[in-house]
Amino acid sequence: MAERPAPRAVVTGIGLVTPLGRDVGEFFHALCAPRSGLVRPPAGHVAAGLVDAVGLAVEVDPASVLPRHDVPVADRFSVMAVAAADDAITDAGIKIGEDVDAVRTAVVISSGAGGMQTFERQSLAMGDRGVTGVTSYLYAGFLPNMSAARIAIKYGIRGFSSAISTACSASAHAVAEALRLISADEADVVVCGGTEASLGATGIAGFRNARALAKGWDDPTLASRPFDKRRNGFVLGEGGAVLVVERADLADARGASGYADLTGWGSTTDAYHLVMPNPDGQSVADCMRMALARAGVAAREVGYVNAHGTATRIGDMAEARGIQQVFGDEQPPVSSTKGVTGHLLGGAGAMEAAATVLALVHGQLPPTHNLDEPDERCRLHHIRGTSRRARPGVAVSNSSAFGGHNVSLVFEPASTRRRRADERTGGCAAS
């Protein structure tokens, strides 16, 4: 008896809370323009005086997305995740419990660090007032799984629920998990993505003392420079990004429109160093090859790579070497969107997966901002200056992280009868 093929998995909803705003069309327009979302920390912000530039996410009123009793105890990372999930589920037009069985619905929302701001505030409270100063809701605020739990409770999601914590690859792992769950027939719909509220004083101090952050830039919009010769570190950003991924046949049955199919994923580990990537790029290459093999596509079919590209010296070089190993002299166009968003840490992978999906939908490839003079050690087919018109049949999104984690996601045009590309959604800048 022939083995039943795995169902196609399609992205039907996108929700974003980013330094470029919350509207999906405006977000992609800013990527293509490009319009930077990086600013100097305003007076009174905890980051003021510590760093030259940050990516501040658009504000979300906690009371607009959470029950009144949850507002005082919800950390910012959860508020942004729930807001992004609200928008993604609305965008997908899906009613959990009606269009899909709640037990066949999963939620995987990841974070690199969880509620750092809650933990920092409560640590200070204990120092000031002793044990009684610490709230009994401490764990409901800072545990990394609380975003997934809040979304599950709000929407009655009763299937698989998880929070993968793999630093800056966390939300890319969450999207990969969506494909794994659907392919294994363990879920029909997965609400997946990630979130990070990274702009706390202690976290900033740690990165600053590790010399990981960009510095010396009078203009904050120039500070994040992926693959550029003058790059000197990443810019911390915050935000959340959520995708609704579902079986394509379910999407067709309910008349939903697909953005893009999620067809492959790869995950490898450098096994090299706790916080430095292996400069040889081998694990990055292995990860991309694994993802392409799962998708059943050849490297020559890839028309765009959204790079992790954080603007660190070794990280960018390692990823470039990995891309070179996979594609050789026939490289597809490559760009990193962190030049305008900064680095959302655990939220970055899902946000950049969304950017990759939108590039497929609109046939527009966003450039790498601030790539004025490419580092000769990062010899890639860079998209520079302005966006590029192209209709890639296959696109790849890469993520990497402290601990040596690597994730690659493969997207292809939606296989659903109704497709967002046919509806000409969004607001991409033409060039």
The active-site residue, picked from 173, 192, 287, 308, is 308
Contact 267, 403 (CB under 8 A): no
CA distance 17 to 376: 34
Please compute, for residue 331, the number of CA atoms within 13 A of its CA located in the half-sphere on the CB side.
Answer: 20
The active-site residue, picked from 168, 287, 378, 428, is 168
Catalytic (active site) residue 343:
yes
CA distance 75 to 240: 13
The active-site residue, picked from 29, 173, 287, 343, is 343
Torsion, Cα of 350, 351, 353, 356 (10° steps) = 180
CA distance 390 to 383: 11
CA distance 114 to 141: 9
Give the H/E segment covering residue 88: helix 76-92
Please compute, for residue 307, the number of CA atoms within 13 A of its CA located in the half-sphere on the CB side.
Answer: 33
Catalytic (active site) residue 287:
no
Catalytic (active site) residue 308:
yes
Using H for helix, E for strand and C for coil, what is the string for 374-398? ECCCCCCCECECCCEECCCCCEEEE
Residues belonging to the active site? 168, 308, 343
